Every structure is written in C-alpha cells, then in structure tokens.
Amino acid sequence: MSFSLRPAGPQDIDFLTDMLVEASDWQGVKSGGLPQQDRRVTVLADPKVAGYIDGWLRDGDAGVVAVDSEHRPIGASWTRLFTKDAPAFGFVSPEVPELAIGIVKSWRGKGIGRRLLREVVTMTGLAGYDRLSLSVDVDNPAKQLYASEGFEVIETRPTAVTMLKTL
C-alpha cells in the first residue's frame, strides 16, 4: 500500500471538505451513517468547523494531500490562520496556524497521518511560523500520534483538547 504526497491546491476543496468531515466526525456518530453529502451538510452546519475550509487557499493557507498509487486522494493535512473574532477549536493566537488533518477511513493506521503531519510541520516552519496548534477529541487515537510528534496539551475541554507544538 504505497502512497505519496503532493501540495494541496484550490482544486482540492471538495476533498479537503470530505477530510474535514472525517476529522470532525471520525467515529461517524454526528452524522449517524448518512450519505457523504448529507454528512457534509450536518458537519459543516457548525460555522467553527466550516471555518477550516471556507475560502480555501487564502493567504496563510498551506497543505498536502496523500494520494495512492493510482493518484486517488486518501488523506490531507492543512493549516489555516484564524482571528480572535472568528477562532477555531484549537485557536491559540492569530500568529499560530491551526492544523486540520483527515484520512479516508480505510487508509487509517497505515502511517499516512504521521507522514502528513510531519510534512505540514516542516512546511509551517519553513513559512516562518514558530508554533502550530490543533484540537482533537479526548478519545481520538490521533491524540497519541500528536503527542508522539511533540504536541503538548495546553487546554482541556470536556470533550477535546487543544495541543501546541513549538517548531
């Protein structure tokens, strides 16, 4: 099961939206087994969630897409800056990009998330940022991945944590 990474571009908005749905509803509980289009509507009804992709590829946005050997997208990771007036779930400050990452369910647990994460961390540092934040559900197994890659919990909420990595 080989895969490669490529930069995310404006043409990836639909796939990034699907990966945002996967990330925010990783257990499939919020959408109750709905078809993908209906899952999108349900998940994106929350403006904080929709903020991760609205107007994708504005200044400060960056990301990568994992593709399989036939160049089909299987995962994505991207960063976005938010403001105090319109923060996202892992907001730290307007100068700290926030990470979003999602993997097609059948491809989870195969090292794709770690590769995507490392690539975005590198990109973020090369872009001149010194920190990167994220939000993850407390029971999401990805929390251990983030911790193993140097992210530390800086805020705990009832169902999620905000994590921060110094680059």
Residue 162 in any domain: the answer is no
CB atoms within 10 A of CB 10: 8
What is the per-residue pLDDT for 34?
59
CB atoms within 10 A of CB 31: 18
68's tokens: 């399989």
Q: Looking at the 3D structure of the chain, how many domains does it have?
A: 1
Residue 49 in any domain: the answer is yes
Residue 165 in any domain: the answer is no
- 3-state class of 5 per DSSP? strand
> For the chain, how big is the Rg over CA atoms in Å?
15
User: Residue 1, exposed/middle/buried by CB under 10 A (0-12, 13-18, 19+)?
Assistant: exposed
Residue 146 in any domain: the answer is no
Residue 63 in any domain: the answer is yes
Closest CA to 47 of 85, 95, 78, 99: 85
What is the per-residue pLDDT for 40?
76
What is the per-residue pLDDT for 66?
98
pTM above 0.85, yes or no: yes
What is the per-residue pLDDT for 41?
81
CATH number at residue 80: 3.40.630.30
H-run or E-run covering 143: helix 142-148
Please give the residue range of the domain that contains residue 50.
3-129
In this structure, are residues 52 and 13 in contact, taking their beta carbons and an 8 Å threshold? no
What is the per-residue pLDDT for 22?
86
pLDDT in tens, the chain (167 residues): 799 999 999 999 999 999 998 888 665 555 556 556 677 787 888 899 999 999 999 999 999 999 999 999 999 999 999 999 999 999 999 999 999 999 998 999 999 999 999 999 999 999 999 999 999 999 999 999 999 999 999 999 999 999 999 99
Residue 55 in any domain: the answer is yes
What is the per-residue pLDDT for 42?
79
Residue 144 in any domain: the answer is no
Residue 93 in any domain: the answer is yes
63's tokens: 């990301």
